[in-house]
Amino acid sequence: MTIRTLDQVELKGKRVFIRVDFNVPQDDKNNITDDTRILLSLPTIRFVSEAGGKAILASHLGRPKGKKDSKFSLAPVAGRLSQLLGKEVALAMDCIGGEVQKRIGDMKEGEVLLLENLRFHPEEEKNEEAFSKGLASLCDVYVNDAFGAAHRAHASTEGMTRFVKLVAAGFLMTKEINCLEKALISPPKPYVAILGGAKVSDKIGVIQNLLDKVTTLLIGGGMAYTFLKAEGFHVGKSLVEENQIEFSHNLLEKARGKIKFLLPSDHIAAERMEIQAKREMVENDKIPSDWVCLDIGPETIRKFSEEIKSAKTVVWNGPMGVFEMEPFREGTFAIAKAIANSSAFSIVGGGDSVAAVNQAGVADRISHLSTGGGASLEFLEGKALPGIEALRRR
Q: Active-site residue numbers? A: 37, 199, 351, 374
Collapsing DSSP to helix, strand or coil, 309 comes out as: helix
* Residue among 308, 319, 303 nearest 351 (CA): 319
Cα(73)–Cα(238) distance, integer angstroms? 39
Phi, psi of 299 (to 5 degrees): -70, -40
Q: Is 56 exposed, middle or buried (0-12, 13-18, 19+ CB in 10 A)?
A: buried
* Beta strand extents in 44-116 (DSSP E only): 54-58, 89-91, 112-114
The answer to whether 9 touches 48, Cβ cutoff 8 Å, is no
- Angle, helix 386-393 to helix 171-184, in steps of 10 degrees: 110
Cα(228)–Cα(119) distance, integer angstroms? 42
What amino acid occupies position 136? A
The answer to whether 326 touches 279, Cβ cutoff 8 Å, is no
Phi, psi of 157 (to 5 degrees): -105, -25
Cα(119)–Cα(76) distance, integer angstroms? 16
